[in-house]
Amino acid sequence: MRELHRIHIAVSGIVQGVGFRPFLHRLARECSLNGWVRNTSSGVELELEGPDEALKGFADGLKRKAPPLAVVEDVRITPMDGLAGYRDFTIRDSRQDSGATLVSPDIAPCPACLKELYTPSDRRYRYPFINCTDCGPRFTIIRSLPYDRPGTSMSTFAMCPDCAAEYGDIATRRYHAQPDCCPRCGPRAFYLDDRGAAVPGDAVTLAQQALAAGGVIAVKGTGGIHLACDASNPDAVRRLRRRKHREEKPLAVMCRDLAAAKRLCFVDGDEEKLLQSVRRPILLLRKRDPQGLTGLSANARLGVMLPYTPLHVLLLDGSSGGPDTLVMTSANLPGRPVMTENDEALQGLRGIADGFLLHDRDIVNRCDDSLAAVWRGREYFFRRSRGYAPQPVTTAFDVTGILAFGAEQKASFAAGREYHAFLSQHIGDLKNAETLDHYRAAMETYLRLFGIRPAQLVCDLHPDYFSTGEARALARRENLPLLQVQHHWAHMAACMADNRLDGQVFGIVWDGTGLGLDGTIWGGEFLVGGYEQFRRVGSIRPVLLPGGDAATQKIGRIALSLAWDAELATDAFPPAENRATLLAMLERGISCPAASSIGRLFDGVYSLLTGRQAAAYDGQAPTLLEALVDASIPGRVYPVAFYEEDGLRRFDTRPLLRALCADKAEGVSPAAMARGFMDALCRMALEQCRALNDRRLPVVLSGGVFLNQYLLSGITRLLEADGFRVYPHCRVSPGDEGLCLGQLAIAAAQRSVDFHVSGSSPENCIR
């Protein structure tokens, strides 16, 4: 008779809400082992009894055969004394402990559920909330860990006998699936008219009919409510834009399937894979007609996603003549977070929505759609949110107890536990009170869910950021140490941490604005350093901003400033009634802060090239300038010049601007000028690297300007051809949303070294 042994196994990672316990049960049965398994706050634990060979086979299978959505980070096997005499294998009730596990993001419907959704004989035929252990809502419905139904918004829906039988049957896909439900016992969808009155009939059919008739419909998903209309109906799109006061900002679309997406855009193999992945981000794709679909996007690219809930699948299936492509834009009032509650939508969208397709399952955690492009075969994030959050970014260093508050626009935060950086979902601009409330609530949720007790706080150097105010308030309240880190250094460190780099790097950090160590606005910086310190070694000639922040919207003022600085004729910019006043401000240096900002340079150049005087939203001018480029039209070759000032090698914008204005006067194509301008910036980056990075340190590219795919590709290509190792972002956004990761990394390094900034007073960099 073979000798029996007993072992204890603890598994950590994303092992809840992904069918992990049912998988372990089936694996134990395969290996003829007895024992038990249960969820804990830390992950999953189990005991097994059986022959040594079978136990080894189980351990091997645990690592090799884990469910596709599971992320097994650590497996600890401990031999135990004696035998317990288990006669079978059971799933025990979950146990609370002092630890905290990871939480799965929300997952798109799996093929098996989609097949059942359209099988007339199936009891879940056309049921909008079909799910199983391989798919469905996760983060957006969870209130507490361990991940069990009572800790989710499914707690109010008691399982019917059929669902309960499935839940307890090891042979089904729904064995221990926490959101398991059906039409008899689960959430229900309903349709309301524009006054909020119930309309009899099938909710999805009614919504399809309204969309086909040109209506604007509010649709409740997993992480928030969208406003939808027929993307192929220009009148409906114009109506949605007018009602939502979103006249120019691009609109994302949701396509029925890949074929519908390919009718609008080019889709390569990597893009196809990501579009159809379980994460289902909005993906920026090249329009087949760069000048087409202007009602949806004036850019060369369009944001496209595929349905990521069963309700979306049904809404787009055309069964009642509805469209196969819908505009899907967040249902929110200007500057506020996406709506999540039915009553909030009925009140806030009155006069905007012609109907409401809602449901009665609560959204616990608000989570906007993720936005990405594919660059060199992988995701390149503009916004990391639904489908990714709250899955942590792993770090190469211990970040336990560090809470990073991020910036103010495109705000996010990061909380550290061991080697995990938990980055928040998309939050938005903290200048809005409701968004600030969302920021606070999300932070509280992360700290509670993941068992993080802050011991060190870190925020931006800018004293007036709302995130800085939040950090200072918590530091006072809890008597915690607070570091304030310079904005562009945090960007550089974020890219280092994103790529798991250590030591010294050369940072090219280009963005809109960030407070510099000298009290001026930075945004076109060349830095040398690491997590412990940095030096600013290069920059660009500062752009004067008449009227300060007002110039970021009134970009004609920046065009005037650039022309004035380059000693060019200024009589065309801006309107005559303002010109004399603005020129006087420039000449006297009154209310004209200087910004060494690539973002502001883009604003001014776009205005110079097109005559446009105002931007409708943040980042519009740089995006539209990139969209001017036509691959068939060569770029003009413009001069790249430099000068030394106070120990900095600065890019001199004046020769470039004179050449641009001369070409405009000659009637040169805007496409050739826009391409030539960006080519000049690429060459400028290369020349700065050659002059300032003689040690050939790894080069990291960060800051919101690197959302520009032309610059990203052009600079990377030139630097790599010259022998530099180049590291763009790969797991978080290069914009301010990813900056909190750099703050976290710098604070972690501070634990073991004394901070200083060469050539600067330490207290000016970190406080």
Distance, CA of 358 to CA of 342 (rounded, Å)? 7
Q: If you search the block for the tokens 């997406």, which residue do you land on? A: 261
Burial of 581 (0-12, 13-18, 19+ CB in 10 A): exposed
Residue 288 designated active-site? no
Tokens of 578: 């303002």
Query: Edge-to-edge, what's the strand order for the sheet holding 393-394?
Result: 393-394, 420-423, 414-417, 402-404, 456-460, 482-485
DSSP track, 649-697: EEEEHHHHHHHHHHHHHTT--HHHHHHHHHHHHHHHHHHHHHHH-TT--
Instruction: Name the amino acid, one letter, at 109.
Output: P
Q: Cα–Cα distances in Å, from 279 out to 47, 128, 275, 428, 537?
A: 33, 19, 8, 21, 40
Greatest distance between any 2 Cα atoms in the chain? 100
Q: How far apart are CA 559 and CA 565, in angstroms?
A: 10
Q: Is residue 192 within 8 Å of residue 161, measured between CB atoms? A: no
Q: Are 180 and 133 in contact (CB under 8 A)?
A: no
Q: Are 211 and 326 in contact (CB under 8 A)?
A: yes
| Residue 738 per-residue DSSP state | G
Our answer to whether residue 21 is catalytic in this structure is: yes
Q: Tell me the DSSP string of 405-456.
A: ---STTB--EEEETTEEEEPPP-B-TTSHHHHHHHHHHHHHHHHHTT----E
The rounded distance, in Å, linking the Cα atoms of 730 and 420 is 16
CA distances from 360 to 163, 195, 331, 345, 480 (A): 19, 18, 17, 13, 41
Q: Which of 99, 309, 335 is closest to 204 using CA atoms?
A: 309
Residues in the chain: 767
Three-state SS letters, 257-315: CHHHHHHHECCCHHHHHHHCCCCCCEEEEEECCCCCCCCCCCCCEEEEECCCCHHHHHH
Instruction: Compute the distance between CA of residue 16 and CA of residue 27 in angstroms, rounded to an integer.
Output: 17
CB 241 within 8 A of CB 314: no
Distances (CA, A) of 698 to 547, 602, 689, 717, 745: 39, 27, 10, 14, 18
Residue pair 586/564 in contact by the 8 Å Cβ criterion: yes
Token pair recorded at residue 176: 């221990």
Choose, from 34, 39, 233, 299, the residue flagged as catalytic.
Answer: 39
Count other C-beta atoms under 10 Å from residue 213's C-beta.
Answer: 14
Contact yes or no for 460/405 (Cβ under 8 A): yes
| Type and span of the H or E element at 34 | strand 34-40
Question: Which of 616, 640, 601, 614 has the alpha carbon at shortest distance from 523?
Answer: 601
Please state, in angstroms and rounded to a whole number, the distance separating the CA atoms of residues 537 and 699. Answer: 14
Assigned token pair, 401: 């107890």
21, 173, 383, 384: which one is catalytic? 21
Active-site residues: which are they? 21, 39
